[in-house]
Structure 1
Amino acid sequence: MNKLNKNQKLTVRRFMDVADTNDEVGAIQALKDASWNMDAAFEYYFYSARSRSSKKSTTNATGITAMFDSYKVQDNQEEERIEAEGIIRFLENLGVDPMDPVTLVLSMKMDAETMGKYTKEEFNRGMMMMECDSMDKLKEKIGALRKELTRPSSFKDVYEFTFGFAKEPNTKALALETAVGLWKVLMTDKWCFTDEWCDFLERSHGKAISNDTWSQVLQFSTQVGENLQSYDPNDAWPYLIDEFVEAKLEEKK
């Protein structure tokens, strides 16, 4: 729940109180599926619960543990985890390029906290949610995960998750180099100005990216899109977006 904003966290707690449940993961998923509408979320949640109870889960926890153990760091630290090298092998065995945005969907399903690391708890949570206890089952799921990137509401969830996932622990902003790399992974096929935006930041900004700027870039890309003439400076965009538009309009003169 650490990736949710304050209002969303309050909504989750209120939902769980009313539904009389300790199922935080299910509550969050129902609220996301219902676009944070409480009434609709209850329908999603209880329909899902009936569906789960009507068929016995075939997801094998032992299989998930075996998957995790194949990639985890072999050391004596108390925390069991998969780090960068293991994640790369994991993705290679899935047939997924590390630069493929579907890797961010996978990480979101685990509710992973830190880029470059999956804890055992995170890995187990994600595999149970996706009902995958083998690499073969997970390979079959990749197509469905990829489709989430094509649905605006699901893509927004992935995009917003990515900021907290990718920033350094105990920091409030995302390193510019990291932000630029992730924008190119997530936005190149969705926003025609992605490369120009990244070039502008590297040339004129050179500082870390705030959560507000990160979030507003997605909104700007859908609201203003390819036609900068529809840009309204009175819409209170972050100053970086204002400066970018001014620079682009100046180029057209």
Structure 2
Amino acid sequence: MSGRIDGDISQFCSITGASTRDARKFLEAHKRLDIAIDAYYNNPNAFSNARRKGDTAAPSSSKINQLFDKYKDPEDDDITIDGTIKFCEDLEVDPEDVVLLAVAYELKSPQMGRWTRQGWVDGWKSIGADSIPAMKNALVRLRDQLASDPAYFKKGNEAWATLDTAQAFWGLLIPHGLKGGALARTSPSGDSNEAIRDGGWTADYTQWWFDFLNQKGPKGVSKDTWAMFLDFIRSINGNFSNYDMEAAWPSTIDDFVEYAKERFDNDI
């Protein structure tokens, strides 16, 4: 039993970069390695109050609030576009960098480029950062997690009302997820080699999706379409021949598959 626990702790630390002490705390609380890792990513400071004297201090609400006030719009209760641009300059990150989608999720941003005080404070406390250097370090982890963890990749998505907004997000998310593996093709059998042989989603198909939405799609993107589209990307093969029209996919995705198959036929 001890050997298994030690192995889980080692794996936990390797995946998350956490200390051995934190790994043990999360594993003791959640028992299973996968659940413990998810819990750590959701709140890496869950056990910060139990840290020993001399360990790294918990994030300071006061410092996080001071940063919020630094970027806050003087004529608004929130941080808005101008403050966001200044914040990105201090972080040395492009305002259109895909990692900001993960930050927006963690800080419960009501829309891109806007941050509420409560979401800002609660979010950065949960992430464990109360200074610009600490936030820069957090972005490294969030970027890696967004690219490589399918569950986190999907969790960070919300339903967006307009096509323009949805396409802007997909334009950032899809290339990042394909490159990092979060949107890697999966086969029904779980055989990764079979998935590779069978092909999968490409950058061309992303453009087809946008073409379809602009030409024939709905005026807005439904919650179901947004929530299931990334699963669709991961499941589809190179020519969409494995798509099941009888399955519980949103009708917009059904219509897109018909549209794509017509384009396949026209290209032959």
Instruction: Give the structure-2-normalised TM-score.
Output: 0.67
Alignment of 1:103-118 (within 5 A): 103-118=100-115
Show structure 1 runs of 5+ residues with no match: 1-29, 168-173
Counterpart contact for 2:45–2:126, Cα < 8 Å: no
- For 2:246, the equivalent position in structure 1 comes to 234
**1:61 maps to what in 2?**
61
Q: Does 1:186 align with 2:173?
A: yes
Please tell me whether Structure 1 or Structure 2 has the larger radius of gyration of its CA atoms: 2
Q: Which amino acid aligns with 1:123?
A: W
Taking the aligned partners of 2:137 and 2:37, their CA distance within structure 1 comes to: 30
Alignment partner of 1:202 is 2:214: yes
Alignment partners' CA distance in 2, 1:153 and 1:98: 24
Identity %: 31
Q: Which residue among 91, 98, 101 is the counterpart of 2:98?
A: 101
Moved more, 231-240 or 208-217: 231-240
Gaps of 5+ in 2: 1-29, 179-200
Partner of 1:125: 122
Instruction: State yes or no: 1:158 paired with 2:170.
Output: no
Distance 2:96 2:126 in 1: 23
Q: Secondary structure at the match of 2:246?
A: helix
What SS does the corresponding residue of 2:79 show, helix, strand or coil? strand
Could you say which residue in structure 1 is the equivalent of 2:260? Answer: 248
Aligned residues: 205
Q: Say if 1:64 and 1:49 are closer, same or farther in 2 by CA, change over 3 A.
A: closer
Q: Which amino acid aligns with 1:205?
A: G
Contact 1:34/1:44, CA 8 A, preserved across alignment: no
Mapped to 2, the partners of 1:108 and 1:70 lie a distance apart of 21
Could you tell me which residue of structure 1 aligns to residue 143 of structure 2?
A: 146
Q: Provide the aligned C-alpha RMSD in A.
A: 3.0
Q: Which residue is equivalent to 1:7?
A: none
How many Å separate the matches in 2 of 1:109 and 1:63? 18
**Distance change >3 Å, CA 81–CA 199, structure 1 → 2:** same
In 1, the alpha carbon distance for the partners of 2:96 and 2:145 equals: 17
